[in-house]
Amino acid sequence: MNISQYKKEDLEFISIKNDLGFEVIFCSLGASIFAIKDGDRYLTQTPVDLSTYKLTPIYHGKTIGRICNRVSYGEVIINNKTYKMDLNEPHASLHGGREGLSTKIFSYEIKEDNDEVKLIFNYLSKDLEEGLPGNVNLKVTYVLYNYKNEILLEYSASSDKDTVLALTNHTYFTLGSKNLDDLSLMINADKFLHPNKEDLLPLEIRNVTPAMDFRISKKIAKDINDNYLKNSRTYGYDHHYFFIESNQLIPQVKLSNNEYELNIYTNYSGVQIYTDNYPDNIKWEQLTDKRRRSIAIEPQDSTLSREILKGNALYERFIKYCFIKR
């Protein structure tokens, strides 16, 4: 395994490349996956300009929390007490607010053991950071392998007070495609969360319609202009799906094109998918389109009801990305 560390624009980067030519570049900002490459081919939507990557709303590859997705009016009730998070949308706190985990610098250590490398990021989120109670000790561990093109992502955290914690990763995947037209998606889910049209906050659980059904792999672009999506403010897919079963041994999500297949395993109960719906002029590696260039696949638990993490209890979740070259 080839490991290199370097600094650029005050950010620390760690590149880990295996003998198959599979490379993952990590960054201490947000304990993030900055880029995934196969040789010179980018498999993720990766910014050219680092100043872009430093911007709070650019979540690409970063750890999202303390609470991912949207929290209505930023209000969280814990033990009958209401805690107020920062609002970075008119009616919601999105992905932890303006000062979420995606904006924090994590310390890290590297451990090598034969044919695998562990990159362990650590961060202490202090009591009332983001408006939430508890000193939260957070560990984000990435495991890479010399002879497998896989990434195992493990979250481990505990708090000294009852709190709410809901973490995910916000990598945008392209699998080397220029846009979504070439990408097919499978989600092991028969229900999804319909959002409120006005502010995209969760409204109700619905059974999948043909346009929202990915139980059998299909092109993402096939139904992306369906009337249901046209008449919402999502302008594409930006929905939470509930897995049919919690099974860590099967891929809950599959993404593919003619060259690669990505299988995603997790112990989360669902996933948010977002199809890069809003146009921008940001420069991305090997991409030229203005929107719908990639898909963010964000495993997470239900946003309708947030579980309380009891003081001194352990929060443990994992996501495994398995890349297969066709």
The whole-number pLDDT of residue 221 equals: 96
Nearest CA among 188, 223, 320 for reference residue 266: 320
CB atoms within 10 A of CB 83: 16
Q: Place 233 in a pLDDT band, splitting at 50, 70 and 90.
A: confident
Q: What is the mean pLDDT of the chain?
A: 95
Sole residue written with tokens 């201490």: 28
The whole-number pLDDT of residue 234 equals: 86
Q: What is the value of pTM for the model shown?
A: 0.96
Res. 286: pLDDT tops 80: yes
**141-150 CB burial, b ≥16 within 10 A, e <16:** bbbbbbeebb
Look at the alpha carbons of 20, 21, 22, 26 in this order and tell me if their dihedral is positive or negative: positive
The whole-number pLDDT of residue 73 equals: 94
The whole-number pLDDT of residue 264 equals: 98
* Cα–chain center distance at 103: 14
End-to-end CA distance of the chain: 23
Q: Over pLDDT 90: what percentage of the chain?
A: 89
Res. 261: pLDDT tops 90: yes
The whole-number pLDDT of residue 8 equals: 93
The whole-number pLDDT of residue 55 equals: 81
- Tens digit of each residue's pLDDT (9 = 90 or more) over 137-195: 999 999 999 999 999 999 999 999 999 999 999 999 999 999 999 999 999 999 999 99
Phi-psi region of 252 (alpha: psi -120 to 50; beta: other; left: phi over 0): alpha
- Tens digit of each residue's pLDDT (9 = 90 or more) over 31-51: 999 999 999 999 999 999 998
Res. 275: pLDDT tops 80: yes
